[in-house]
Structure 1
Amino acid sequence: MATSRRRGRAAGPSRSFSERALDYAGSAKNLAGCVAAAGGLGLFFVGVVGVPEWPFVVGALYAIGALVAPPPRRPTGALPPPRDPQTLRADLTAHDRRFLGQLPPDVDAAYRKVTQDLRDLLDRPALLQTGSPDTFVVERMVVDYLPTSVEAYLELPRAFADSHLVDGRLTARELLLEQLTLLATAAEDVTTSAARDASQRLAVQSRFLAERFGPTSGDLNLGDS
């Protein structure tokens, strides 16, 4: 069945000629063309360009100015929404299916330490406040930092990864162990930070209840007749 639009092109709202003209009037291309055309008029007024030629010169300079001006920037796409804890746990499970069984024992243990620390956090979603720096770090660790490190290691032949120094310092295997240690430390730091915030809320509630119902409070006199 024939259609009036080419495949693969999304239909957008049609815009009137006047709307498109107003957009162009305020564009960088029109501004550059006007500046160049004004220069052509200047050449006419000082006598460099004669009477028969000046309209063509002005028009040509406007076209050149509009042509060399940069096009308007297209708006960038919106950032993806943050992932919820359930989605992040599914991401970790997908990482396990890809990576476990391919890592040497010491790297496998370090990898499992990171993922267990992250799962412990994701099991308590109340600790991860929406939009907080801690929540952002956990998400980036799951979707970017952890898989990127492991994937880079697994791309290498095992003998090369275990014997060749990278930048004359460590082997690829040692570098991965170093990175996994850093990620585990970061996960522990996030846990401590998030738990500290929750502990502070508990302490505030404790002080409130002590002031409200403690023995020194004068608000309750239940024993008085």
Structure 2
Amino acid sequence: MAYVESRKNLVGSACGIAGLVLTFTGLAGTYWPVVVAGLYGAGALIAPPERPPAPEFPDTSSRLDALRDDFGTLRAYLDEVELPPAASGRLAELTGLLDGLLAPGWVSEALAADPEGVHALSRAVHQDIPESVDTFVRTRWWTRITPGTEPPERHLEQQLTLLHRETEALAAGLREAEARRQQIHTRYLEDRGRNG
């Protein structure tokens, strides 16, 4: 059935019909079956090959929906973890920024147009933040039994600061893209006003 709908069969059939037209007009003569079959074969040979369909991947907005759900799961985990005040404040700033970027609306629509940004947020939610907090919790336990070592709070605060900077840079990039878009539209309107 796939061959019946294929390009090769359709082009070959069109050429075969042209052979039948030649037969009915008397140009094919007694060799009309050979002419029709030959034209069908030639048409099937010159037809472009079938192109396999391109794979369909989920669009970025569906990835953002899944990321929002995962961020909710991460926040539930973070609410159960006891952190020192400085790290807790830094984490609240970071999660607030992530919450703003992932909130449904025009910001997440702008983010959906930036696959690298979605990847960076996905990495932060799925890997960086949970790893930082979980490593702190495990290291803090060891520090309690072996006092005198470097406090794990410093590393946690530094990691959260770095993640906050990275997320702020992403937000700044989105803001700059929107500002450029606005400037381009202004130039377009100015040019249209001059030419109109």
| TM-score, normalised by the number of residues in structure 1 | 0.52
Partner of 2:110: 127
Distance 2:140 2:184 in 1: 55
Q: After superposition, where does 1:144-223 map in structure 2 within 5 Å?
A: 144-158=127-141, 160=143, 164-165=148-149, 170-213=150-193, 217-219=194-196
User: What's the CA shift for 1:204?
Assistant: 0.4
Over 3 Å counting, the alpha-carbon distance change for 1:205 and 1:118 in structure 2 is: same
Q: How far is 1:90 from its partner?
A: 2.1
Q: 1:218 to 1:180 in 2, by over 3 A?
A: closer
Count matched residues. 133
Structure 1 Cα separation of the partners of residues 124 and 161 of structure 2: 13
Instruction: Give me the whole-angstrom Cα distance separating, in 2, the residues matched to 1:132 and 1:89.
Output: 15
**Correspondence for 1:87:** 66
What's 1:50 paired with?
A: none
Matches within 5 A, 1:11-160: 84-101=63-80, 102-123=82-103, 124-130=107-113, 132-158=115-141, 160=143
What SS class does the counterpart of residue 103 from structure 1 fall into? coil
**CA–CA distance in 2 between the matches of 1:179 and 1:157?**
15
Q: Does the Cα contact within 8 Å between 1:121 and 1:127 map onto a contact in 2?
A: no
CA deviation map 1:93-120 (0-9, x unaligned): 2122112242222221111111111111
Deviations 1:177-206 (A, max 9, x none): 100000000000001112111211111011
C-alpha spacing 1:208/1:218, structure 2 compared with 1 (3 Å): closer
Give the conservation status (yes or no) of the 8 Å contact 2:64–2:118.
no
Matched residues, percent identical? Answer: 21
Which runs of 5 or more structure 2 residues have no equivalent in the other structure? Answer: 1-56
Name the amino acid aligned to 1:108.
Answer: S
What is the alpha-carbon distance in structure 2 between the residues aligned to residue 199 and residue 131 of structure 1?
15
Is the contact between residue 100 and residue 108 of structure 1 (CA under 8 Å) also seen in structure 2? no
Kept in 1, the 8 Å contact 2:64–2:112? The answer is no
Contact 1:127-1:195 within 8 A present in 2 as well: no
Letter paired with 1:153: F
